[in-house]
Amino acid sequence: MPTTTAAAANITTNITTNVTTNDPAEKTGARTEEAVGVITDARERIDALDDRIIGLVQERMAVSAVIQDARIASGGRRVNLSREMEILAHYRDALGKPGTSLAMTLLELCRGRI
């Protein structure tokens, strides 16, 4: 079956069986009404937290750009590795090894790839 036809068939199947649309039990994976309620409410809080986190990341990118632009305009380099080591250590101390990965991703968002 061509890809577009297969995709259309999948959409039809999903709508027909209500798998990806609005069956709360299917959407949450819960097996009781109570668990559906807990999960649905907590997911709303997670969505709100994610919106705030994304906003903070965007704010961090803007502040980081101010520093990088000032340093470059003064004749310096965009990147300051000793400062980046401090940031990596900060996140690792707070969050463990995955904190380092998170900090590396944040640094890449803020100053691009090196």
Ligand X SMILES: C=C(O[C@@H]1C=C(C(=O)O)C=C[C@H]1O)C(=O)O
Residues engaged in binding ligand X (CB under 6 A): 64, 67-68, 79-80, 83-84, 87, 107, 110-111
Compute φ and ψ for 96, nearest 5 degrees: 80, -165
Smallest distance, ligand X to C-beta of residue 107, A: 5
| Cβ 93 to ligand X shortest distance, Å | 16
Q: How far is the CB of 60 from ligand X (least distance, A)?
A: 7
Taking the least distance from each CB to ligand X, the nearer of 39 and 67 is 67
